[in-house]
Structure formats: structure tokens, C-alpha cells
């Protein structure tokens, strides 16, 4: 049961689907229910993390942080631990309130509506920025793949105009799928997920077998590689955890699709936790294979997966890796746009975001207008980045910054979970997985964010991230001043049981 800590209800609201309060004007605007299974939700979650894309953009950074590279797998495990218990927090919170706004909705009812608003706005903002970056990455790998096949020249592959056009084409395609329906979107994700996972997993296993059969290893495997307690140096640990947070970012997409999933109170949370273990396995497999097969100099390569593929089986394998990163970039762009549209839909349904984002297409049952608007912002960003020079080193910089931001919103969710269930000490098991470990993980992630910002300095943050944070802080005050919004007067809740 939920204990309301102030007020008996909110005027102008009715009990909507799953018992959550929604404005009367939006009561019938519902997404397509009971469409996704556990396997569908898990596929979307693992595609959202996009191992090939994450490995291509952050793998080299992790090896560099670990100096000689031997502790990189341990750092991945170290990053995994707090994120896993945040996934448990999402599981427990989603059982009580399966709202597609996820942490936006939960923080609003547990901590304060303004805190939820800030969290939701921040997630949507970094999602839009990421939807600018990932199609550009996909375009770059598309042109690199064509160049590798001899279809275009190196000069053509480096064309700014062609990169912008192809990035725009990928964005239009994924936006179309997101609008056309959740089933189409999920089926497309299944295809992309199979491509990247088969490539990364099969080649990683193949690389390990090659080393075992030929004694080709540049270093011998040691169990200490996997020991997270063997990592030394607070600075290295904190920076690695920030990069690791980026590596695992995206599993929560499954929870943002809860209103379109079967058994919405349980399936999305289970998919999130299951996807975390699958992703950890893939990352460790590739990290270990890379350390065995590649030299220390190669481990610092900007195009590490291509180098790994070539070392494993020649250039053809390198080209397959390029294609895997390409498919992964497209997949993660789509699964970043997807939850952003659900968060803005939830916020608009609560009347704290423009109402056009609450419009659900009558046939497709998706937030079509909101999805198109977010896609349009990302499209403008693609051309702005390509033609103003702002794209210089933007991928690496954004990776560093987004790790801190994601650590923040994951961390706050963990602390909120502990606070929400503080009166629900019904069993020692729930006390550990629903209160203690989410709280500790939340504190650790907040500390990572503070350390990362302190290490890089505010000058190290990209101005677009700083502008996003400032907007998220100021906009709710402007909104409340201009209009009377019942949302900001909602009563807070505390849960007295885990169910």
C-alpha cells in the first residue's frame, strides 16, 4: 500500500491505467498495451546498451585508464555492480508504478514533483543529443564500410555533406519505425541485435580459441584480470566507473516501454535485470579476447573493434566488425529516441510538457507527434554539428560527460527507491535488494558524478550539457509561474509493502 504524506487527491485528475493519476483530458490517450513479451523487452534493453557501439567508442578509453590494460575487465565488473542494483531499484519501483515516464514519475511522487521534472527533462535532453551523435557515427561507419568494399573513394568517405545526408537518412528511418508502431520497432531491433551480438560474441570466442590453439597471446590470462577489488588508484577507479556507466547505459529503455509490455508491473523490470547480465557477459568476453589477442599499442586504437577483427581473421573480419558497429549505432539511436518519446508523453500527460507530446496516434498507438518533434530536433543538431565545426572530438567528449549525467539520474533513482520503501522492511531479502543496495549504489554513482566533474572541471563539460542542466533547473519555475499546474501539488508517497 502507498501512504500519502499530504492531501487526499489531486483535483482534475482521475485514476488511469495501472492506478496512476492522469489528467481527465488525457484519460483515453493510451499506448498499445500487452504488445511486448519478456524476450522482446530484453532484446530492446540489450540493443539500447548497444555493445558494439559502446565498445567502439569507450573500449579504448577503458584500456587507457587501466594503464597496461590488464585491469580493464575488472573495471567493467566494478562498473556493473552499482548499475545492477539500480536495475533492481527500477524493478521494485516499476512494480508499484509502471509508468512509461519511469524515474521521472517515481521521483515526482517520492521526492518532489520538481525533482521528477528535472530528472525527466535531463534524460530527454541527453537522449536528443545522443540522437545527434549516434546517427553521425552510423553514417561514418556506413561510408567506411562502402570504402572498405571499394564502392567509394577515401575522399568521398570523408565528405561532410554525405555524412550529414546519410546520418539524416538513418534518423528518418528509425523515427519512422518508432512512429509506425512498437511491434515494427521491436522487430527491427531484433534484426540489429542479432547482427551485432553474433559478430561480437562469435569473434570474441574465436579470438580466445585462436590464442589457445596457437599460443599467440600477447599476455597470459590471469584470474586477477577479473578481480574488481584488485583495482588501485581512486582517480582511475572513479574515471573508469564513469566510462563504465556509459558502457551500461540504456538497459532502462525496457522499463520506459512498460505500458506497452505484457505484465507491465513485472516483465520490464525482469528484462532490465536479465539484460544487465547478458551485457556483462558480452563485455567481459570481448575485453578478455582483446587483451589476449592485441598488443598494448593496439588496445589504445581509435578503431579498436576493426583492429580486433583484423587480428582475429584478417580484413574481412574487420569489415564485419565495422558493419556490426554500424548496426549497433542505428539500434542505439532508435532505442534512445524511443524512451525519450515515452518520457515526454508521460510528462505531457501530467500537463507539465507541451500537450502535442501527449497525442497518441489513433492507428499506430504511439506518441507519433512527440517522436517526430524530437527527431526533428536531432535532425537540426546533425546539420549544426556537421557544418559549424562543433563536431570536433564531440563523440569522445560527449561520452565522458554523459557518463556523469547518467550516473546522476541512475544514482538518484537508487536513493529514491530506498526512501520510498523505507517503511517496507518485510523481509531481509527485500531489505537488501530493495533498500540497502540501491541506496549504496545510488550514493556511489552520485559520488562518481561529483568526482568526474571535479576531475574535469566545469570547463571540461561541453557547453551544450551545461545549457541542458541550466534549462532543466530553470524551466519548472517558469512553467509554474506562468500557469497553475496541479502536478506540482501532488502528495508524496511512501510504500509500506514491497507489493
State the CATH number of the domain containing residue 114.
Answer: 1.20.1740.10
DSSP symbols for 99-158: -TTTHHHHHHHHT-HHHHHHHHHHHHHHHHHHHHHHHHHHHHHHHHHHHHTTSS-HHHHT
pLDDT in tens, 124-136: 988 998 999 899 9
Res 14 pLDDT > 50: no
**134-150 pLDDT, tens digit each:** 999 899 999 988 998 88
Reading the block at residue 88, the C-alpha cell is 533492481
| Stretch 20-40: mean pLDDT | 73
Residue with the bigger pLDDT between 71 and 422: it is 422
Average pLDDT estimate for 227-246: 76
Helix, strand or coil for residue 15? strand
pLDDT band at 123 (very low <50, low <70, confident <90, very high): very high
**pLDDT 10s digits, 183-202:** 999 999 999 999 999 999 99
Percentage of the chain lying above the pLDDT 90 cut: 51
Hunting for cell 558480452 — which residue is that?
282
Residue 4: pLDDT band by 50, 70, 90 thresholds? very low
Where b means 16+ CB within 10 Å and e means fewer, 403-429 reads: bbbbbbbbbbbbbbbbbbbeebeeeee
Mean pLDDT computed over 312-325:
91
Whether residue 1 has pLDDT greater than 50: no
What integer best gives the mean pLDDT of the chain?
Answer: 84
Helices marked H in 22-102 — which ranges? 38-49, 51-65, 72-96
The neighbouring-strand residues paired with 13 are 23
The 10 Å CB-count burial string (b at 16+, else e) for 290-307 is bbbbbeeebbebebbbbb
Average pLDDT estimate for 418-438: 90
pLDDT score recorded for residue 88: 96
Mean pLDDT across the stretch 276-284? 94
Distance of alpha carbon 179 from alpha carbon 341, whole angstroms? 10
Closest alpha carbon to 287 in 84, 79, 82, 69: 69
What 3-state class would DSSP assign to 67? coil
Q: Looking at residue 63, what is its pLDDT?
A: 64
pLDDT above 50: residue 18 = no
pLDDT tens column, 70-98: 788 888 898 899 999 999 999 999 999 99
Would you say residue 261 has pLDDT above 60? yes
Query: What 3-state class would DSSP assign to 339?
Result: helix
Q: 362: buried, middle or exposed (CB in 10 Å: 19+, 13-18, 0-12)?
A: exposed
Confidence of residue 401 (pLDDT cuts 50, 70, 90): confident
Domain count, the chain: 1
pLDDT in the model for residue 26: 45
pLDDT tens track for 296-305: 778 877 788 8
First to last CA, the chain: 7
Question: Do residues 352 and 487 lie in contact, with contact meaning Cβ atoms separated by under 8 Å?
Answer: yes
pLDDT at 342 over 80: yes
* DSSP alpha helix (H) spans, 215-355: 234-248, 253-256, 267-293, 296-299, 304-313, 315-349
User: Within its chain, how far is the Cα of 251 from the centroid?
Assistant: 6
- How confident is the model over 219-243, as a mean pLDDT? 78
Structural domain boundaries, residue 295:
2-495
Q: Quick one: pLDDT at residue 341? A: 97
Q: Please give the pLDDT value at position 435.
A: 94
Q: pLDDT class for 17, splitting at 50, 70, 90? A: very low
List own/partner pairs for 419-424 with CB under 8 A and 24 or more apart.
Answer: 419/110, 419/111, 419/494, 420/93, 420/96, 420/106, 420/110, 420/493, 420/494, 420/495, 421/92, 421/495, 421/498, 422/494, 423/3, 423/494, 423/495, 423/496, 424/495, 424/496, 424/497, 424/498
Compute the distance between CA of residue 53 and CA of residue 137 in angstroms, rounded to an integer.
9
Query: What pLDDT was estimated at residue 392?
Result: 53
Report whether pLDDT(482) > 70. no
According to the model, what pLDDT value does residue 2 have? 47
Per-residue pLDDT at 151 exceeds 60:
yes
Q: State CA 440 to chain mean position distance.
A: 21
Q: What's the pLDDT band for 387 if we cut at 50, 70, 90?
A: confident
Which cell is 134 given? 549516434
Amino acid at each position: 500500500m502507498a501512504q500519502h504524506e499530504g492531501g487526499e487527491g489531486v483535483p482534475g485528475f482521475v485514476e488511469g491505467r495501472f492506478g496512476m493519476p492522469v489528467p481527465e483530458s488525457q484519460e483515453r490517450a493510451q499506448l498499445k498495451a500487452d504488445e511486448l513479451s519478456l524476450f522482446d523487452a530484453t532484446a530492446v534493453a540489450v540493443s539500447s546498451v548497444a555493445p558494439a557501439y559502446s565498445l567502439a567508442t569507450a573500449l579504448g578509453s577503458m584500456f587507457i585508464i587501466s594503464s597496461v590494460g590488464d585491469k580493464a575487465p575488472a573495471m567493467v565488473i566494478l562498473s556493473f555492480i552499482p548499475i545492477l542494483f539500480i536495475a533492481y531499484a527500477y524493478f521494485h519501483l516499476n512494480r508499484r508504478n509502471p509508468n512509461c515516464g519511469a524515474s521521472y514519475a517515481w521521483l515526482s511522487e517520492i521526492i518532489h514533483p520538481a525533482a521528477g521534472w528535472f530528472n525527466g527533462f535531463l534524460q530527454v535532453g541527453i537522449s536528443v543529443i545522443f540522437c545527434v551523435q549516434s546517427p553521425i557515427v552510423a553514417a561514418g561507419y556506413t561510408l567506411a564500410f562502402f570504402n572498405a568494399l571499394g564502392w567509394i573513394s577515401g575522399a568521398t568517405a570523408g565528405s561532410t555533406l554525405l555524412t550529414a545526408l546519410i546520418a539524416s537518412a538513418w534518423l528518418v528511418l528509425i523515427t519512422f519505425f518508432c512512429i509506425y508502431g512498437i511491434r515494427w520497432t521491436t522487430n527491427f531491433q531484433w534484426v540489429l541485435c542479432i547482427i551485432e551480438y553474433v559478430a561480437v560474441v562469435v569473434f570474441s570466442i574465436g579470438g580466445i580459441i585462436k590464442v589457445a590453439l596457437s599460443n599467440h597471446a600477447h599476455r597470459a590470462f590471469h584470474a586477477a584480470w577479473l578481480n574488481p577489488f584488485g583495482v588501485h588508484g581512486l582517480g582511475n577507479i572513479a574515471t573508469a566507473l564513469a566510462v563504465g556507466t556509459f558502457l551500461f547505459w540504456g538497459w532502462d529503455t525496457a522499463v520506459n516501454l512498460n505500458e506497452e509490455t505484457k505484465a507491465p508491473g513485472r516483465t520490464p523490470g525482469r528484462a532490465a535485470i536479465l539484460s544487465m547480465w547478458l551485457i556483462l557477459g558480452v563485455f567481459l568476453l570481448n575485453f578478455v579476447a582483446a587483451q589476449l589477442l592485441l598488443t598494448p599499442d593496439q588496445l589504445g586504437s581509435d578503431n579498436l573493434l576493426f583492429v580486433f577483427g583484423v587480428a582475429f581473421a584478417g580484413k574481412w573480419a574487420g569489415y564485419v566488425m565495422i558493419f556490426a558497429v554500424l548496426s549497433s549505432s542505428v539500434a542505439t539511436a532508435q532505442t534512445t529516441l524511443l524512451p525519450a518519446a515515452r518520457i515526454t508523453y508521460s510528462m505531457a500527460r501530467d500537463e507539465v510538457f507541451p500537450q502535442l507530446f501527449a497525442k497518441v496516434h489513433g492507428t499506430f498507438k504511439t506518441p507519433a507527434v512527440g517522436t517526430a518533434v524530437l527527431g526533428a530536433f536531432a535532425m537540426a543538431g546533425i546539420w549544426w554539428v556537421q557544418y559549424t565545426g562543433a563536431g570536433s572530438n564531440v563523440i569522445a567528449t560527449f561520452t565522458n560527460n554523459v557518463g556523469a549525467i547518467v550516473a546522476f539520474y541512475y544514482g538518484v533513482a537508487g536513493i529514491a527507491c530506498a526512501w520510498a520503501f523505507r517503511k517496507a522492511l518485510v523481509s531481509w531479502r527485500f531489505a537488501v535488494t530493495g533498500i540497502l543496495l540501491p541506496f549504496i549504489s545510488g550514493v556511489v554513482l552520485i559520488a562518481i558524478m561529483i568526482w568526474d566533474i571535479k576531475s574535469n572541471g566545469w570547463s571540461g563539460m561541453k557547453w551544450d550539457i551545461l545549457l541542458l542542466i541550466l534549462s532543466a533547473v530553470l524551466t519548472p519555475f517558469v512553467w509554474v509561474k506562468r500557469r497553475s499546474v496541479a502536478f506540482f501539488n501532488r502528495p508524496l508517497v511512501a510504500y509500506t509493502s514491497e507489493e
